Amino acid sequence: MIEMNNLSMSLSSAGHAVRILSGIDLVIPDKQLLAIVGPSGSGKSTLLGLIAGLDRPSGGSIRLDGIALDELSEDQLAVLRREKIGMVFQSFHLIPTLTALENVQVPLELQGEANPSVEALKLLDAVGLSERAHHYPVQLSGGEQQRIAVARAYAGAPALLLADEPTGNLDSENGKRVMDLLFRLHRDQGSTLVLVTHDPVLAAQADRVITLRDGKIVDDRLKA
């Protein structure tokens, strides 16, 4: 479960504090599929970064499974992400010098998996790309790269998956394929999925949709 209380985030610009998020109170239960929507600049990606522990809030608190993220060191946050969180970004972020298989192996090796290559190949098979295991990112299409990124995110079956505009760099056909994959893995693995998107069609498939505007939650709707 993720719990946020009076969460705020400000950044300094030209000597002035710019408020990105303000007064965020939000509880995300386990296994929920939550979509975060809102106009550009509303704070969606910033909120996702705070949940991941990639940034520290200016005020308030955020807890993941009862653990206060602001009380953890950078090393402790890295361990938490490795053990509990998978992430998918708009820009794939694959390691260009590693093959598809090796990209998926990386988090498994960090987790101490006994047979990382075997498990990585299973994940590639789950995303329909086992035949591309030994190809490098430059040899893959954008849709294939994002599917590799999804396989990597689910390595080790994390309890929480964070996806930031995962279809933003894809055409509609590949975008649908990636989202169908994300939704299927979410259901099969019983993970919590928090999705930032501009796409109302994707948001409509979520269990719950929250809308951010000017750094505040202005709407919170649970699917009936």
Class of domain 2-222: alpha beta
Q: Residue 193 has what pLDDT?
A: 95
Q: Residue 3 has what pLDDT?
A: 96
Query: Tens place of pLDDT for every residue, the chain, 224 residues?
Result: 899 999 999 987 777 778 899 999 999 999 999 999 999 889 999 999 999 999 999 999 999 999 999 899 999 999 999 889 999 888 888 999 999 999 999 989 988 888 899 999 998 998 889 999 999 999 999 989 988 998 899 888 889 999 998 888 888 888 888 888 888 888 888 899 999 998 888 899 999 999 999 999 999 999 86
Do residues 145 and 167 lie in contact, with contact meaning Cβ atoms separated by under 8 Å? no
Q: Residue 100 has what pLDDT?
A: 95
Characterize 8-17 residue by residue with b for buried, 16 or more Cβ atoms within 10 angstroms of its Cβ, and e for exposed.
bbbeeeeeee
Q: Residue 38 has what pLDDT?
A: 93
Beta-strand ranges (E) seen in 166-207 are: 192-196
Looking at residue 67, its amino acid is: I
Give the whole-angstrom CA distance, residue 50 versus residue 72.
Answer: 13
- Judged by DSSP in three states, 15 sits in coil
Q: Residue 208 has what pLDDT?
A: 96
The pair of structure tokens assigned to 15 is 């000597």
The region, left, alpha or beta by phi > 0 then psi within -120 to 50, assigned to residue 210 is beta
Q: Residue 103 has what pLDDT?
A: 95
Characterize 24-62 residue by residue with b for buried, 16 or more Cβ atoms within 10 angstroms of its Cβ, and e for exposed.
bebebeeebbbbbbbeeebbbbbbbbbbbbebebeebeb
The 10s digit of each residue's pLDDT in 146-204 is: 889 988 998 888 899 999 988 888 888 888 888 888 888 888 888 999 999 988 888 99
Q: How many CB atoms lie within 10 A of CB 173?
A: 9
Q: Which helix (H) or strand (E) holds 60?
A: strand 59-64
Q: Residue 200 has what pLDDT?
A: 86
**Residues linked to residue 59 through DSSP beta bridges, in sequence order:** 8
